[in-house]
Structure 1
Amino acid sequence: MSGVAIVMLLVSIGIVWGGLVASIIFLNRRPEVEDLFEDPDLVRDDEERAAQPHPFRDT
């Protein structure tokens, strides 16, 4: 491999692994919110839909 190819390899590795490290740090500092308000009407609709039989095709 030429010197330019090695430099580009190192740059691309740095970008990929740097993005991974940055995203891990970001998620550790600002975790996703788990306590979201759920609309009771939407929850009831979901439960009713889950109780119905699964639709099927006749094809």
Structure 2
Amino acid sequence: MTPLAIVFFLLAVVIVWGGLVASTLFLRRRPERQSFPPGGHDDHREDAAPIEHDT
């Protein structure tokens, strides 16, 4: 392997594993969303679903 290939390999490993570690740490600090945007009323869409036919 050339030195350039090794550098790109190490860069890719740092980006992938660094992103995994960063996202894991972020989710450990804030596991669930604390507030939701306004307006989330139930519009009963499951009540007016399309008819399913047995074929």
- TM-score tier, shorter chain, comes to 0.5 to 0.7
- 2:11 is matched with 11
> 1:19-47 CA distances to partner (integer Å, 9 max, x unpaired)?
1101110111122226748757x21x2x2
**TM-score, reference length from structure 2:** 0.65
- Unaligned runs of 5+ residues in structure 1 are none
- Unaligned runs of 5+ residues in structure 2 are none
Q: Which runs of 4+ in 1 moved over 6 A?
A: none
User: How far is 1:53 from its partner?
Assistant: 4.0
Question: As a proportion of its length, which structure holds more helix?
Answer: 1
Q: Distance in 1 between matches of 2:3 and 2:11?
A: 12
The percentage of aligned residue pairs carrying the same residue is: 43
* RMSD, aligned CA: 2.8
How many residue pairs align between the two structures?
52
Q: CA separation of 1:31/1:3 partners in 2, compared to 1, >3 Å: closer, same or farther?
A: same
